Amino acid sequence: MKQLRLVNWLSGIVLLLALIAGSLLPARAQNAGSGSWQLSGQVQTSDKQPAIGAAVLIKGTMHGVVVDIDGNFTISVSNGDVLEVSLIGYATQTIPVGKQSKITVVLQEDALSLEETVVVAYGAQSKATITGAVNSVRGEDVLRSPTANITNSLAGTMTGLTSVQRSGEPGKDAATFKIRGIGTLNAGNESAPLIIIDGVERDSMEMLDPNEVESVNILKDASATAVYGVRGANGVIIVTTRQGEAGQAKVTFSSNFGWQSYTMMPQLVDAADWITLYNEGIDNEGVAKEKYPESAFIAYRDGTDPVTYSQTDWVKALLKKSAPQQQYNINVSGGTEDVKYFVMFGMLHQEGMYRDYDLEGIDFSINPDYKRYNFRANIDAKLVKGLTLSLRLGTTFTNGNYANYSTASIFSDILNSTPFGPNILDGKLITGYGGNDPIVGIRKNNSNLYTLYENGYQLDNTSKYNLSAELKYDLGFITKGLGVHGKVAYDDIGNYTMKYTPGTIPSYKIILGDEYENGYTLVKANDESATAQAQSYGTRYKNLYLEAGIDYARSFGNHHVTALALYNQRTQDNPAFEYKLPKALLGFVGRVTYDYDHRYLAEVDLGYNGSENFAEGRRFGFFPAFSLGWILTQESFFPKNNIVTYAKIRGSYGEVGNDQIGGKRFLYLPTKYDYPKNGYNFGTYGVDVQYYKASNEGDVGNPLVTWERARKANIGIDLKMLRSRLSFTGDLFSEYRDNILWEYGTVPSIVGSTPAPANLGKVSNRGFEAELAWNDRLGEFNYFLKGVFSFARNRIEYMDEPEMAYKYLMKTGYSVGQYKGWLNEGFINTVEDLENQPQHSWGAGRWDRGELNFIDINGDGVVDANDKIPIGYSDYPEITYGFSFGFNWKGLEFNALLQGATNVTLYMKQEAVCPLYYSRSAQTWHMGRWTEERYLAGENITYPRMLSDNINSPSFINPDPLSTFWLYDASYLRLRNVELAYNIRLAKLREVGISDVRLSLSGTNLLTFSGMTNFDPESPSGKGTFYPMPKVYNFGVKVIF
Amino acid sequence: MKTYKNILRLCAVIICLASLNSCLSILEKPSSSDVTLDTIFSNRDYAESALYNIYYQLVPRGFPYTNGNYPENKSLQSQTQFSRSLLASITDECCNYRGATPGRYVNVAGFDAITASRNQEDSWAHRWPGIRAAWTFIKNIDKVPDEEIPDAEKTQMIAEAKALIALAYMDMLPRYAAMPIVDHPLGEGDATLLVQRSTLKETIDFILKLCEEAIPDLPDTYPSNMRGRVTKGVPLCIKSRTLLYAASPLFNSSASDMILDYDHPEFVCLEGYDKERWLKAAEAANDVLVWASTAGVSLITAADIAGGETDPKHNAYGYATSEKDNKEVILANKGYSSSNNGFGDGIFWTFSLRGMSVMLNIIKYFRKADASDQTWPTTLNEHRPFSEYTTKMNEMEPRFLQCVWPAGQAAPNFTKTGDYTKWPFGKIDDQMSASDMHGVGPMVKFCYNYSGELMKDWIVFRLAEFYLNYAEATAEYYGSADAKTPTGLYTAAQAVDVIRTRGGIRVLNAAEKADFHTQIVRERAVELFAEGHRWWDCKRWKIADDTFGGTLYTLRFVQNVAGSTATSYTEYYLAEHAEPRVWTKAMYFYPFPQEEVDKGYLVQNPGY
């Protein structure tokens, strides 16, 4: 099966290559004309010295040479190539190859390379003189990660960005982002950053193909985000898609074939171990339950009678070892100076990890099977003098096949099943034994697979159109540097789901008996019925964005000024919104930057936004930010040296807002009544009883409600040292958010109504970030090392919370999402331990040796809810870091990214950690339970004493056993990405039109170092019922024509 | 040329400004059909919906909600995990079949102010939206034009609302004792929302005052299609039950008799014994009986049932406690809306997760059909033949078989057949092993003539209760079973005899009359079995330490397989300790949720 797929894939590639080559070759041959030739040249520094060590590279390839001691080089080029000439400490130059055979390149020192720009809100700024806190990652770096979903390629690449992936299910595996941690009371969507794609707010970036991305930028401080006003408080992620480059059409085809596996899954015990634990539990409880007979234990251990004593490892029964993933992308970039285009088609096919069975009566698959198709056409055209049109047309279609049974249920069933039963025998689904059970009176489970198949499957289709058109008009004829622009963007997003429930799935029971061949026969356990059902659901929603702006940029001697004024509005139309009415937001933006001699920098940003959530008069918020910068190295008094070549200090202060609270809308409206809401029956039963509608007071309005306001300060430093080989960026930030929209916590229940959210909360958030990078070259061996580190810690300053008996019980004063629970110190090991136990407010009569030892924090002699103290952290890490390194040498490239997180805690409960509850399984680490023998032998004890029904254990405190024992330190360090690639550029290939070939081997999450052994450290807190995180091995081919 | 440019610029500015104005309006909420307070009190339909909401919110219900089938507004019991259980499951009457059912949280953990939502039987928060809705209704009903609702009807509606507030307070009284008195919709104009607890006496007086105000404006009956609304009988019943609680030892005592030491005796007792409280209680109960005799409310007798008199099962009791809208019912909760109000869930529901079974402790209060006492096994873990169990069960009085389903035979009062005919053999839920079951049999009260329905009215007031209220209070006041109040219809003993006779048991003999209080305790345990009284009765009599704090006993049935083939069974039963339960003296009253106490308006009840 797997081999077949590989063959398909390979033949697919060959076919595609042939097609592309076939269609392009003639054109290519014509254009190429004379084919390739040798170009020689010299590279000098600005002081006319040979630029020793400079590299000359053909852009977009790894093909290049290093100049000799005199600065000379010779390189084989073909028409349309672009040379990239670089030397550390100097600005990289790009030179299109024309017909010339000899060139001279003069490199300028790049301590202040003003050409290098970075995308910011509503524009781009020079990286050298920017005063805000901004990070970026280039599309080509994103591509190094073989993840299916682009959101999973960003972890560890930028300071200030926390990325957490909570599921690995194909099509549902997007990471969630936070910028500089969480600054508000709500750890959900209300603290998620704003996502901007090509200048327009979009719901997510997960649908993008990594190949269409030019760069991903994050805006962190108020200076960078104030212009987003009421939506900018949580930071901004700006994705820019690729733009065509003038020149001959460059066709790039890439293909990746990967094998997905998973990082971690719980290891389940076998039937014999399960029996051991269960029987031991009955002994410990002293209850009159029936034990499994010793004979059963032996039979399961021997495994000599696999039908009578059959067992299943549910993890292995559901999950296979690996599943394929394929990606294809073809894009063409080119154009003239007047019209540039980038067009792309990408395809992803990702299969799920569920094992395929060939079963009687089942002709569908429940295995996730996800296909994504991306189309993009980005066109930039100069229409008439001064007028340019930019079109950004992106479209994504997805098709997914899934089980019609929730992922949570599938994984919950795995953990909630005893290991007994064959489940599948002779290609048939087995639901039990008929007549004589091998073990009578003990429960066995239904077949999980039966439940899974019985529910059928579903097809999810989505279509997303992200379209925008922008017209820019250069008003240079009025005054130099003045321009206006207008933009329209339209998003249309549709989801369509078909759910198919099959008729009866044939299932069988096993009848044991010596009279049958092999000692058993199978009889059908259910009646056929052909009542298959199909249900369909569809949703569609639309967003419209309009923007009009005027901008100005001009230099007057040493005075450099830019200005921007802009109006924008966004309307969203989604039937799922509260009131089913469209949603609107509008804003005005202003920005002025001033720069004296590239030495003293200043910027003022203004956002003025209105939100529908607030009453007229309170609807608009004004969000100013100021920032200053000073480039020390530009000062005449700063000695010219090679140690510090560039130093900038920058600082910003400003205010940004947030208007979201869940999905609630129009918070200012007067108290609403819900009618009809509930009801009551009157009348005489059987005669005239009738249901009468009732009405109920709904949310109480709050006319005073307004946006939450974040005050943010940032101080940063950018350094380039040792001739720019070493660079450092450090930022220190502090944020204080008040007016946080939150529910009242001190209104007594006796009022009997729910007051509308009010501007109640206050949260502070502080932290720092540092990035240190080293780039150098040893001959043709280029290498880099880079480390990023981010830390952010928040604190709830106020949240309208009643004063409690102990400060530590309150949320105020602690981090958002801080776990509170009991403190455990080991186990109750001895009789003395048991006698010295404090009282407990739960579990009367169940405390015994082997249970957890709970600490009576307040010393009142009772362990109760007053003893719950802050334990661990929250489930978003406070510290994230990444360390990447790589080299390239003669076409060989290597890149690796190690990424980690710490100060993070996960809380696993219920089936994730608690074994033996009715039909529940046990995991291998439960074998390390407390027993007297194991305690006396000094063995490592990993679990309290076993009960036959552990949910009754006082250690577990069903259903919420939040104590230190059940918390996991989810710190981890993982080999997030690794890539080894080889670039081939052969004259022979070029003769057939292929200029470059790149072969790569890469992987994601190949290694994970963590204290957690049963679940991946990025798991969602909870019951462990999620699709496991992927590990991917990938082989890729990229061909450039 | 220059003029043109200027005109163009002017145009541009005008267009900009004009469009700006229209732009700003996108932030206005487009008009949609929002309903506000003014809308509600503008016509009859809306105003009635506000009244019906009070019923929905405040009429108590004792049947659980199906798991996951909570009503939208999460009122009533659904805010606590107890929502899947019956009050009987935390008394010595019943227990839930299986371990993890919510009622069990109380049984294994008791009450806990801090994790109230999990452990408590009641949620402090859930009645207040209904009380607010009632006061809002009373305050605003006058706004409805007279041509929509005439004045007289408005007056009656206000009386219904007041009676429902009194009902909610009556429901909270034995749980929390003294409460904050909320007598208007709290909010605007109030100096503080933190209304402190009044004294217990003030709380009781507040309930009685609301009843007195409501009584004159309420009708004795409604047309058939409005059955279920508050009649004059409802505030009379509220008065009777409230005064019975007030007269009983728990409340009717001095500070020195408090269950636990407490700085605020005024919140949990009436600070001194007053015998006259029994007389008031007796008269209030008699008022109900007198009213009933004129309002068409009477006990169901065999004659009321088709084919009744000849029915050997004496169905009258089962009929009275199961059939919707029978003439014995004064008020029932009729608030179900979905296809399942959890009735089946709480009772037996095909023996799945959440059914109830009856404890050995409570069946000792039942008698044999000949009114003598049954002998139940006392030696624990002694294997006894299953046939003996069957014999004993079938010797019991008729009401017993309307409450308990003897294991291993068809349910006595079902018309539904099939899977329901045997227990536990043959049809054990495959999720449990035999050892998971406790009890002497499944509880089948409320299941008379059961044929699979999922919805039942929970009876709040049934006439039979007031015979027993009257008998108890009268005998306590006069010290004699043969006494009656000046206006009384019966002597205390006669009132009990009415109930016994209807139940199919002979009248009290002299010896029983002499030991009348014991008979009252016993009669209430039997007649009002599982109707949500015992939890309060044992507390008001201050005997809960014995009944709920003692050991619970159950029977267990074992079906052994001989050899490896499952064709022959040996069957036996045995008595054993049921699962131990938590009982503390603090549980005489419920804790206020700690978070509410932290808000600074409630003084916590003793022991929490």
Percentage of chain B lying above the pLDDT 70 cut: 78
User: B59 to chain A: nearest residue by CA?
Assistant: A680
Q: State how far residue B475 is from chain A, nearest Cα, in angstroms.
A: 37
Q: Residue A269: pLDDT above 80?
A: yes
Q: Residue B114: pLDDT above 80?
A: no
Q: State how far residue A829 is from chain B, nearest Cα, in angstroms.
A: 23
Q: What is the pLDDT of residues A160-198, one digit of tens each?
A: 999 999 999 999 999 999 999 998 888 888 889 999 999
Q: What is the pLDDT of residues A811-841, one digit of tens each?
A: 999 999 999 999 999 999 999 999 999 988 8
User: Which stretches of B257-404 are DSSP H helices?
Assistant: 265-268, 276-295, 316-322, 343-347, 360-363, 386-394, 398-401
Q: What is the pLDDT of residues A989-1028, one digit of tens each?
A: 877 888 889 999 999 999 999 999 899 999 998 899 999 9
Which range in A48-52, A645-649, A982-986 is most confidently predicted, on average pLDDT? A645-649
Q: What is the pLDDT of residues B358-377, one digit of tens each?
A: 899 999 999 999 999 999 98
Total of domains in chain B:
1
Confidence class of residue B210 from pLDDT cuts 50, 70 and 90? very high
pLDDT value for A713? 96
DSSP string for A553-594: EEEETTEEEEEEEEEEEEEEE-TTSGGG--EEEEEEEEEEEE
Residue type at position A270: D
Contact B108 A843 (CB under 8 A): yes
Confidence class of residue B205 from pLDDT cuts 50, 70 and 90? very high
Average pLDDT, chain A: 88
Task: Average the pLDDT over A89-101 and give the result.
Answer: 78
Q: What is the pLDDT of residues B26-51, one digit of tens each?
A: 777 776 668 889 999 999 999 999 99
Q: What is the pLDDT of residues B48-62, one digit of tens each?
A: 999 999 998 899 888
User: B35 to chain A: nearest residue by CA?
Assistant: A673
Higher pLDDT, residue A979 or B556: A979
pLDDT value for B270? 95
Percentage of chain A lying above the pLDDT 90 cut: 54
- The reply to whether B399 falls in a domain is no
Q: What is the value of ipTM here, to two decimals?
A: 0.91
| Least confident piece of the model among A242-256, A371-385, B98-112 | B98-112
Q: Residue B572: pLDDT above 80?
A: no
Q: What is the pLDDT of residues A839-880, one digit of tens each?
A: 888 877 789 999 999 999 999 998 988 899 999 999 999 999
Q: Say which of A690, A842, A949 has its CB closest to residue B225.
A: A690
Task: Average the pLDDT over B325-345 and give the result.
Answer: 76
CA distances from A168 to A150, A175, A414, A888, A1018 (A): 13, 9, 17, 32, 10
Task: Average the pLDDT over B550-571 and give the result.
Answer: 60
User: Which stretches of B41-193 are DSSP H helices?
Assistant: 44-58, 103-109, 116-119, 128-140, 151-176
Residue B158 gets the label, from left (phi > 0), alpha (psi -120 to 50) or beta, of: alpha
Contact A802 B56 (CB under 8 A): no
Q: Record the tokens describing residue B260, joined without a space.
A: 């636990």
- The reply to whether B129 falls in a domain is yes
Q: Say which of A442, A619, A671 has its CB closest to residue B433.
A: A442
- The reply to whether B311 falls in a domain is no
Contact A918 B109 (CB under 8 A): no
Residue B79 gets the label, from left (phi > 0), alpha (psi -120 to 50) or beta, of: alpha
User: Domain extents for chain A?
Assistant: 2-107, 259-464+505-538
Q: Residue A19: pLDDT above 60?
A: no
Confidence class of residue B564 from pLDDT cuts 50, 70 and 90? very low
Residue A64 and residue A83 in contact, taking contact as beta carbons nearer than 8 Å: no
- The residue among B8, B257, B54 whose CA lies nearest residue B166 is B54
Distance between CA atoms of residues A733 and A712, nearest Å: 7
Q: Say which of A686, A749, A751 has its CB closest to residue B124.
A: A749
CA distances from A275 to A465, A501, A816, A971 (A): 56, 36, 43, 34
Residues of B in contact with A689 (CB under 8 A): 225, 227, 324-325, 334
Percentage of chain B lying above the pLDDT 90 cut: 54
Contact B132 A697 (CB under 8 A): yes
pLDDT value for A24? 46
Q: What is the pLDDT of residues A970-983, one digit of tens each?
A: 999 999 999 999 98
- The reply to whether B496 falls in a domain is no
User: A803 to chain B: nearest residue by CA?
Assistant: B598
**Phi, psi for residue A403 in degrees, rounded to 5:** -70, 150
Q: State how far residue A556 is from chain B, nearest Cα, in angstroms.
A: 27
pLDDT value for A116? 80
Residues of B in contact with A673 (CB under 8 A): 35-37, 39-40
Q: Residue A599: pLDDT above 90?
A: yes
pLDDT value for B567? 41
* Structural domain boundaries enclosing B107: 37-304
Q: What is the pLDDT of residues A937-976, one digit of tens each?
A: 999 999 999 988 888 788 987 777 889 999 999 999 999 9
Q: Residue A636: pLDDT above 60?
A: yes
SS3 category, A863: strand
Confidence class of residue B82 from pLDDT cuts 50, 70 and 90? low
SS3 readout for A221-260: CHHHHHHHHHHCCCCEEEEEECCCCCEEEEEEEEEEEEEE
Q: Residue B432: pLDDT above 70?
A: no
Confidence class of residue B424 from pLDDT cuts 50, 70 and 90? very low
Confidence class of residue B427 from pLDDT cuts 50, 70 and 90? very low
pLDDT value for B425? 41
Average pLDDT, chain B: 83
**In whole angstroms, how large is the CA radius of gyration of chain A?**
32
pLDDT value for B430? 34
Q: Say which of A586, A679, A686 has its CB closest to residue B56.
A: A679
Task: Average the pLDDT over A734-761 and give the result.
Answer: 89
Distance between CA atoms of residues A63 and A60, nearest Å: 9
Q: Residue B294: pLDDT above 90?
A: yes
**Phi, psi for residue B348 in degrees, rounded to 5:** -140, -30
Contact B582 A681 (CB under 8 A): no
User: A753 to chain B: nearest residue by CA?
Assistant: B129
Task: Average the pLDDT over B249-258 and give the result.
Answer: 94
pLDDT value for B187? 85
Roughly what angle, to the nearest 10 degrees, separates helices B200-214 and B233-247? 160
* Interface mutation vs chain B, best among A750, A947, A953, most B CBs within 10 Å: A750
pLDDT value for B560? 54
pLDDT value for A97? 79
- The reply to whether B493 falls in a domain is no
- The reply to whether B154 falls in a domain is yes
Q: Does A479 touch chain B (CB under 8 A)?
A: no
DSSP string for A668-683: TSPPPEESS--EEEES
Contact A673 B35 (CB under 8 A): yes
- The reply to whether B470 falls in a domain is no
Confidence class of residue B435 from pLDDT cuts 50, 70 and 90? very low
- The CATH number of whichever domain residue B300 belongs to comes to 1.25.40.390
Q: CATH 3.90.1150.10: does it fit domain A2-107?
A: no
Q: What is the pLDDT of residues B449-507, one digit of tens each?
A: 777 777 788 899 999 999 999 999 999 999 999 999 999 999 999 999 999 999 989 99
Task: Average the pLDDT over A866-895 and give the result.
Answer: 93
Confidence class of residue A626 from pLDDT cuts 50, 70 and 90? very high
